[in-house]
Each structure stands twice: as C-alpha cells, then as structure tokens.
Structure 1
C-alpha cells in the first residue's frame, strides 16, 4: 500500500465517457480542422457524453489553445513514472499538468508490447499521474492467443494487480479501459456480449470505493457499433483510436 496523496478528482460512470486516442498522427493544420469539426459536431448533436482527446506530446499546446473554454478536455497518450531527473525523452506528469491536461493514458497495448512496459511500471505511471491531478486511463487487454487459451481473466487480473496494490484511493481516481489486443486497429471488434463479460469481471474485482469508476471499451469502435457496445451494463464509454481522427465518426460515437 502507498501513502501517496492524490490530487485527481474522483471520476464516476454517471455520464458516458468518450476519449479519442490520436496515437502518432496529426499535424498543426489537420489538428485544427479535426477539432473544429468535433466541436461543431458535438454542439449540433447535443451530445451529453463527457468527451476528451489525447494528442501526441508536441501538439498539447495547440490542443489546449483550441479546446480551452470548451466542453472537450484533453490529455496525453503516456506519462513518465518519474517526477524529474535524468530521464531523456520522458515527459513527467507535472509537465503535462502545466498544459492543462486532464487525462493520461497508461499501459496501452502498443506500449506494453513495443516498449516492454511491465504491469508494475504501468501502475507506477498511473500513480504519478494521479498525484499531480491527472486522471489515469489504465489500459488492459488480452492477445488473441491468450483469449484462445481461455486466459482472459487471469491476464487482466495480473495487469490490474499492481494498480490495486497501490490502494483503493488511486483505483477510485482511475478510468479502466478494456482493449482486447486482437481488436486494436484490426477492424475486428469484440461482440457486445464478449466485451460485457470482461467489463463485468473487471467491475467485480474493483474495491467497494471504486465500483462506480468508468470502464471503457476500445478496439475498432465505429459509429455503427458504438451504441450497441455502450448499451451493455458495464460499458461506460470508449477509448477510440482510428475513428477519433475523423470528426464526423468521433462525434457519431460520442453521440451514441
């Protein structure tokens, strides 16, 4: 357990939450056009969901300038577990906070796989984010081989264990995003029933004080499947990849 003092607000599932993950995409020009389209579209749709975008680090100042004063918040796609020091290439949570970030994605499957991030490191990043007031978006998910081996629950439990070990207060300030690795960027999507089964498992593992945190689904969410996914009992919104780069699609998902 930890005695860290967390500054991030408690987040709840009272409203659907839709977060766009731009990954390594964008330009100054295209970002401006995308966010203009998103803001206009959300207003026209009368969207009631909580909406956010997570951009690459170099664009945070631009995104903050374009979104300041709007209902759309912004965040980063990663954060360092370290506060400061000789960590070349790393970006601290305090730095992100200076750009008005509300969110920090941690443990995305691409970082777990390509950067060999361990479950402990991901939990440490979540703690670093929450300590300065960011809300960690904590990603979990299984590969196709792990699903076929009937290891979904054991894999996700192992990914969550270091986060839970840090204490209920941190968990209550975290958003968990279930992203089956086999559905990310592949065009394949877990069926609503498959996704709900995993979300229900995650909800059951949460400590009592964190039962109401949002659980998001990610993995080829599109306008034509979003409503069905979001209608499941324990799916409280989505972490959206490719569709977040197309204003009309992202708006349609948020409006679903």
Structure 2
C-alpha cells in the first residue's frame, strides 16, 4: 500500500511517501514561508522524485491537530482535494498521537507529548503501553502535573515529548515528577512519515475511509474567537 501524508500542524511542514511498511521518501521544510506556499510544491517534488503520479497513491493522510489552526486547515484541505481528485481514501491522525507514536512500544513508560497552547496551557495526552491514560485536551499545565502525579499506577519513567512547560520543573530546572526524562528535540516534532505509518495500519483495516470525514481536532477555540468572546488573547 502506497500512502502519501503531510503534516502542517506545527512550525515545520513535511510530506512523506510510505510504501508497504517502509518509508520511501520524505521532505521536511523548516518554516521560511507559509505552509500554503510550500506544501503543494513539496508534494509535487516528492512525487516527481519517486516517479509517481497522484493516481498511483492508494491512500492519503494528514495531521489533524492540535496545533496551528491555519496550518491544520491547509493540510486537511490539500489532502481532501487530492483524495477526491483520485477517488482514494483519506484519514486524519492526531498530531499528539504522531508525536507519541515512536515511543509507544517502550514498556512501562508514560509518554506525554505536549504542544504549547499559550496562557500556561498545553495541548497534551498521555499513553502507557500503547493505551491512552489521559485524554487529548487543552490542559492547564498545573492540572496536567497533578493528573500525572495522581495516577493510581505510575511507572518509573515519564517521557516528555515536545514542549516543556515551566510547571514540570522546579526553580533549579529539575523535573518535579520523579522519573521524568526528556525526548531529544530532533525526535519531538510530529512528522509526515509517522502520520503515513499510522495511516497505513488503519487504512488496511478500513480502506473505505472517506475524505468527507477528515476533520480538524483543534481542542480549543482560535485567538480570534477568544477575542470576540472577550477572553484573553
């Protein structure tokens, strides 16, 4: 199965081709221009380099957030257009799940991906032994620390992936939760290759996934909506 995936939910954009359980190619673009400018040229470049036409793709996928509201919309609309244009299925993958995915098979370790949501909030969820133990949501960082601390069964290690909120560290920069370790920065961002890997597994189970069902997972209202409602910027 040949999967084309993109991720525009964060500062960097990436597109990837995944073929029968292996990465065929990936392009990662650090944000020098808006994703709306860089995404489709990157897709075209990727297909050209692999000598493929869009009609040869078996399925499409993208990150659905949380993250950049504008970036998420760009990724979803682009993937939907390609899926509708080729008559292929399309599937959305949570950005937080994609951040956690490379570590989920590590036994007895909580994996906690986080994305900065401003105002002492993070988009976060937690996994243990490939099972969700805290739901994906917009968390106050202090509440998240408390929820992790109060888990009835907590393994020795907690891996922080992505953003590192101040609430998780004391005045000396040491973690406030014993056993906390930090994922390397280079392995802490969601990537299209991971989106594609997850998508292939799910599309093999349900190859009829409709692009119509591809929806964003913002987990919060936009800044413009907060201002209109009289909330904090």
Answer yes or no: same fold by TM over 0.5. no
Larger relative helix fraction:
1
Which structure has the bigger radius of gyration?
2
Report the TM-score, using the length of structure 1 for normalisation: 0.27
Considering fraction of residues, name the structure with more strand.
Answer: 2
Give the TM-score taking structure 2 as reference length: 0.29
